[in-house]
Chains A and B, each alone.
Chain A
Amino acid sequence: MTATVKMNSLQAVNAALTEAMEQDPKVLVLGEDVGDREGGGVTGATAGLSTRFGDQRVRTTPISEQAIIGAAIGAALGGYKPVAEIMLMNFTTVAMDMIFNHAAKLRFMSGGQSQVPITIRTLTGAGWQTAGQHADHLEGWFAHTAGIKVVAPSNPADYKGLLLSCIQDPDPCIFIESAGSLFTPAEVPINQGPIPIGKARIVQEGTDVTLVSWSSQAVRCQMALPALTEAGISVELIDLRTVSPWDKQTVLESAAKTGRVVIAHEAMRSFGPGAEIAATVNEELFGQLKAPVRRLGAPYSPVPFSKPLENAFLVSPDKVVATVKALMG
């Protein structure tokens, strides 16, 4: 048995950052409030780092998202591996020119001369009544950008292992820390190393329906499993873990086996990543499907404040159960 330690996902992030900085002097951390003088970050994810590694490697920045990502890109071009924190995913909008036009494209536009091995950690997720500008799941935007990897873990071990991989990856990565998956502790192997980007995890094997999800929505899908088992439906739950590049092979193999696919994500359903996955499944497996591919996601609406609205906005475990049951007829 591998020795484990119980931690939540924020603690896993802190552990990954600490380990990465310890192992590689080129790893830097920058962002708003990240230093210990400022409390080690608004969630405490970077607590202890500036004390341990010094305030030159762990730099608190002004509230200047373009300057943060620009500094990360430049330092990366200068040979470093910066981990930039954009406090909330909605605030990446302020830095989109740096992320979309520069970080993602410099390698290609320079014919491979420039590399931008930055990691952008960013927090999001509905369920905390933070309303329309603090909770969007924007992974689809970034997945629609060539040159950036989009990682969205759901549990502490994956948070640690995938963050370690993002930091060492030679390309820019967006690492999504979603509220619905941050605070539940779980056992993490004490020697949890890097987990490959682009590889899904089969949470539960099954034969009737393939359920594809990631990030906080994977947690809610997992919560739906007991009711589905009780209803006699054998669900194969795939936690994609990386939205781009996504693990087509695992999804298609599972879909070929079950013939039924439901994709669930917290992001808005319209033009969401689920559409890409559904389209791929249809293109590859049309004749083998027993039912149309179904997508679950947020309604076409900004994230609301009022609790009943927010509850309706999220894809609850009950909605997952109802959708899978309906698909089975």
Chain B
Amino acid sequence: MAELSNAPAPSPETLVDIYRRMIRIERNDDAIRKTIRLGRLQMPYYSARGQEVIPSTLSSLLTNDDKICTIYRGIHDMVAKDMPLRPLWAEIAGRVDGTCKGKGGPMHLTHPETGVMVTTGVVGSSMPIANGLAWAALLDGTKQVTIAYFGDGASNIGAFHESLNLASLWKLPVLFVCQNNGFAEHTRYENCTSVDFISKRAAGYGMPGFTVDGNDPWAMYAAASTAIARAREGEGPTLLECKTFRFLGHVFGDDDKYMTKEEKAAAIAKDPLPAFRARLIEEGLATEEQLAKLQADIEAEVADAMEFGLASPFPSVDELRRDVFAEEIAA
């Protein structure tokens, strides 16, 4: 981790911005779960509660020109990237005003305007495609970076290994960001992964790899800014393993039989969100009123987005013939 010691520290404004993204993710997640419970939303939901710091910190260093490819547990990555919530809600409700006209749903949200290029429901598949976006940026001669988000389970699938090798060989401006929440679906990390740190695998592909506390915005900022600067300067890819925990299991309704109550309680006790909030106030980086106002504004945004999404009409069945190809299929 020596290389990270020279990384810049986040400014107070950046820290508040990271917090804004985190609370936006958390409030949105909370609203999704409540709405599912009320029966107003039917969707498979893979909550990322507990993993907010990772994409929030990375996104504070990105612009809309920078791209992300994420996975089914990736709504937090999109919200962190400032995807507008109205079309997000319409999409997860399967409505015509959704980002994808309701045709992709929560596992395939796409919003190129904010750089959300691909969301995949297949473990590991964000990585090969992120390489291609990075290749395009290289050919275009831009400084744009692409992030491939994935989980710890994905580091055991072939796509991970093929992608890291190619990215390193071609010096692609891409970040491989592993959100290591300790479980591949229901299987504990150590029961399916051959190394103690996924970051060690970077060495096998000739790229730097770091393991960072993915719940610590300062540590994340150091790692993210180092890796992003490296990509922008044309020095190639980085593997970041960000250690975190998912508070709500694999899928909404998960009974968490594969972990002890104590383990889960201990992780939740270290919830990064209230801890970060308290520290921002303690260190005088933000005031109580400022953060309360931020939260109220976000809650209003989420409430508005939910109502908008649920009020949007369902798509016409004619949509089955559209977007299969560029040209509409004849009825």
Contacts and interface: CB of A to CB of B under 8 A. Distances in A.
A107 B323 contact: yes
A101 B122 CA distance: 8
Contact of A66 (B101, B158, B326): B158
A162 B170 CA distance: 31
Contacts of B170: 59
Contacts of A79: 136, 140
B136 to A, nearest CB: 3
Interface string A66-96: 1101111111111110100000000000000
Interface in B133-189: 133-140, 146, 158-159, 162-163, 165-166, 169-170
A108 B103 contact: yes
Given A70-B129, A70-B163, A147-B325, A110 B135 contact: no
Contacts of B100: 109-111, 113
B324 interface: yes
A106 interface: yes
Contacts of B24: none
A192 interface: no
B120 A171 contact: no
A154 interface: no
Contact of B159 (A56, A78, A97): A97
B88 to A, nearest CB: 13
A62 B325 contact: no
A98 B118 CA distance: 12
Nearest to A25: B139
28 contacts: A64-B165, A66-B159, A66-B162, A67-B128, A67-B159, A70-B125, A70-B132, A73-B132, A74-B135, A74-B136, A74-B146, A77-B117, A77-B129, A77-B133, A78-B140, A79-B136, A97-B122, A101-B120, A107-B325, A109-B110, A110-B110, A113-B112, A114-B112, A115-B326, A146-B324, A147-B324, A170-B325, A171-B326
Interface of A: 28, 56-57, 59, 61-62, 64-67, 69-80, 82, 97-98, 101-102, 106-115, 146-147, 149, 170-171
Interface of B: 69, 98-104, 108, 110-112, 117-118, 120-122, 125, 127-140, 146, 158-159, 162-163, 165-166, 169-170, 322-326
